[in-house]
Structure 1
Amino acid sequence: MKKFSGVVCLLLAFVLGSCNDTCRVEGKMSDIPEETTVYMLRRTGEFTFDTIMQTVMKEGVFQLELPRELWGEQYNLKFGDRRGTVAFFAEQGNIVIEGSGKTIYDADVKGSLENDRWNEYQKLMWRIGAQRNRFMREMASNQEPDSIKRVKYESFSNSLDEKLMHYKDSLAQADATSITALFLYYQSLPLLKYDQIDRILEKFTPQLVDNKYYQEMKVRADLLRKVAPGVNAPDFEVKTVDGGSVKLSSFRGKYLILDFWASWCAPCREETVYIKELYNKYHDAGLEVFSVSLDDKKDAWIKAIEEDGMTWNHGCQLLRGGKNTPVAQLYGIDGIPAIWVIDPEGKILAQGLQREKLVEFCSRLFEGK
């Protein structure tokens, strides 16, 4: 009877252990002898973070207990004011972090499935980085013309991009619940079109629909759908140079290049050369240009217009925030220049064309006119 009771106790302990509803992060960092605050950070923007939790590390040892509502995301650990952070995924189990205060970024994170996957991805990135450096050294020492080098570099770079995409796709195919795979796609979000995002989200199980990365990708896809070729361009109103206001819809009846730019954006100023060529050539045939600046200082905005000879229509909200201003958010702008071509009825014909491709597209619109 005693033997049977012992078996029952062991089974009960196993069941209770398997239902352990915790995420424990245990860390050991050498070369940080002093008492140090450890900050757990969540990325909120390109260069911004929020502190979610913090604890004190003593003699190089620290521990954090993460509630379930924080699971399913990647966080960064920062040690006092030292440079470098350690990234880890929060999930059920015991996550062990070991490293050195001298090379924080090189810490070892293990103990859970998604962190093991992240480690494998980091190793792949190191190998690709080494390949890229080796290739660049070879190019620097070879005497071929720069034009040939550029073609070779583009081909080489494309092959590395394909290797990374294959890694993401294979990871998602192997496990449709993988947060690591979802996060890797999420990192490329600014570069993706709505149909690409749709196809990516289809790879994952419905149990991830409430995940932060899944939700942000879906919101992004739905936004981009509203400013894609074939739909009517969303209307908005901005200030004009003379202190008045102008709506996008006021340009109906004309073909329109909608150009988002800023005085401080060098690529935007370079793009102006091509837009000016089109405006001078086709304005009399029915082409208008509406350049909407993301500047927040009126003097800088007007000065750039005058310097670049931008003799067409202009508007600006004169608000701080750049891509986070209302008009930029309306069009899902993640970088400038951002250009749309709109027909006389207000329907979007093209998006994202620049330089020679923009000139070629608009020239076709006015063939024979």
Structure 2
Amino acid sequence: MSNYIKTLAVITLAVITLAVLFSCTPKPNTCIIKGQLTGGDGELVIYPYQQVHSKEEADSLSFKTTIVDGKFELELDAEIANRNMYVTQGKNFKRLAFFSEPGIITVSEKDGNLVAEGSKVNDNYQNIMEELDYSTYQNIQYKKQLSPDEKKVKDGFEAKLWKAAKAYPKSIPLTYFFFQKYWGADVTTLKKVLNTFSKDIHNSYYLNDLNERYKTELKTAVGQPAPEFNLTSLDGEEISISKYKGKYLLIDFWASWCGPCRKAIPGVKEVYEEYHTKGLEIVNISTDAEKKAWLKAVEQEQMPWTQVRDTNGVSEKYNVTAIPHILLISPEGKILAKQMHGAEKIREALKEAGLQ
């Protein structure tokens, strides 16, 4: 009987040990974020690293959990990517930018700030930020009036980036900073970025995205066939590139909230009045997420040409990284000009294309 009890005790201890081991081991392809903070109960939200197009999409890709007595644990996917964590405890609010990766990351507080520990990728991220003096650069990036020291930091940031890339060609956190800086770059710069980093990390999130942009930029270069699309106009008409075969077509990507887009509309109206009878058509493609905002702006602006809203990724097909983004398409459906800012630039492109 005593042997039975001993055996049972050993088995029970083994089961408990295994349970503890498995409870501390994250599932494959997951990232566990855990921590013990001061400040008591609250809420923690980790927002998407992906590009999102609406609040609903952002909410669906976010991770949330409650904080009880300062303690929390949250499981998320293990994509090696930069994420923003927001912690709210009563009236106290704290933010942490960190890199997720497979395994366990512990969040703690040092000098009143949140820090991520137990992660090689985050250690590299912190080292890169210090080397780039990124916090200073981030604070002055959009500042109009700069002190001599601030101007030196801003002017020298790109040189620091490229120097770091040569020193750390396998650093995934460094690719994040290149992504932030060169996401909307031209095809030559994108190729240079991709060639600078080791092919061992070309499948990482940020380089993969830049590579896709590079390939799309090649497809939408001047002289290439304009990517086909199908969108429905306000009048219920199916709009496509092929519909305008035999006509010169101006495609204007814009949005209701874009000040420069709306400021440019009077000039585009002048071009339309001047060239419409000579064979020019215009299609405005709105990138508005909210249909109501788009409809209101269309009503206010009274543009006498076709209006559609991008509901199936046309902006991505055309590598639109900023608006207004205006292209001129030939009667044969080829891209003749891009990035024409202002009515005079559009006129120049039309005259060069032979439309007098």
Fold match, TM over 0.5? yes
| 1:240/1:83 CA distance change after superposition, 3 Å | same
Give, in whole Å, the separation in 2 of the partners of 1:264 and 1:25: 37
Are 1:169 and 2:150 counterparts? no
Partner of 2:307: 315
Q: Any conservation in 1 of the 2:137–2:157 contact (CA below 8 Å)? A: no
Code of the aligned partner of 1:347: K
Code of the aligned partner of 1:107: L
SS at match of 2:214: helix
Displacement of 1:198: 2.2
Partner of 2:85: 77
Which structure 2 residues correspond to residues 288-327 of structure 1 after superposition, within 5 A? 288-294=281-287, 304-305=297-298, 307-312=300-305, 314-317=306-309, 325-327=312-314
Displacement of 1:218: 1.7
Are 1:196 and 2:202 counterparts? no
Q: Any conservation in 1 of the 2:49–2:81 contact (CA below 8 Å)? A: no
Greater Cα offset, 297-306 or 260-269 = 297-306
Partner of 1:9: none
Are 1:280 and 2:290 counterparts? no
Code of the aligned partner of 2:82: Q
Give, in whole Å, the separation in 2 of the partners of 1:302 and 1:131: 34
Which structure 2 residues correspond to residues 336-347 of structure 1 after superposition, within 5 A? 336-347=323-334
| 1:97/1:343 CA distance change after superposition, 3 Å | same
Displacement of 1:307: 4.4
Structure 1: stretches of 5+ with no match in the other structure:
1-20, 140-155
| Percent of paired sites with the same residue | 26
- Measured against aligned partners, the alpha-carbon deviations of 1:71-116 in whole angstroms (never above 9, x if no partner) come to 6322333334653321122458986654369x6xx43456644133
Give, in whole Å, the separation in 2 of the partners of 1:299 and 1:110: 45
Give, in whole Å, the separation in 2 of the partners of 1:330 and 1:131: 29
Partner of 2:214: 221
Are 1:44 and 2:50 counterparts? yes
Give, in whole Å, the separation in 1 of the partners of 2:102 and 2:229: 46
SS at match of 1:311: coil
TM (normalized to structure 1)?
0.68
Which structure 2 residues correspond to residues 14-25 of structure 1 after superposition, within 5 A? none
Superposition CA RMSD, Å: 4.0
Are 1:329 and 2:337 counterparts? no
Code of the aligned partner of 2:50: T
Q: Any conservation in 2 of the 1:232–1:346 contact (CA below 8 Å)? A: yes
Are 1:129 and 2:148 counterparts? no
- Measured against aligned partners, the alpha-carbon deviations of 1:210-249 in whole angstroms (never above 9, x if no partner) come to 2122222222222232222120101223333433333222
Code of the aligned partner of 1:77: M
Code of the aligned partner of 1:115: Y
Partner of 1:238: 231
Give, in whole Å, the separation in 1 of the partners of 2:193 and 2:167: 14
Code of the aligned partner of 2:352: L
Q: Any conservation in 2 of the 1:177–1:204 contact (CA below 8 Å)? A: yes
Give, in whole Å, the separation in 1 of the partners of 2:238 and 2:295: 15
Displacement of 1:63: 6.8
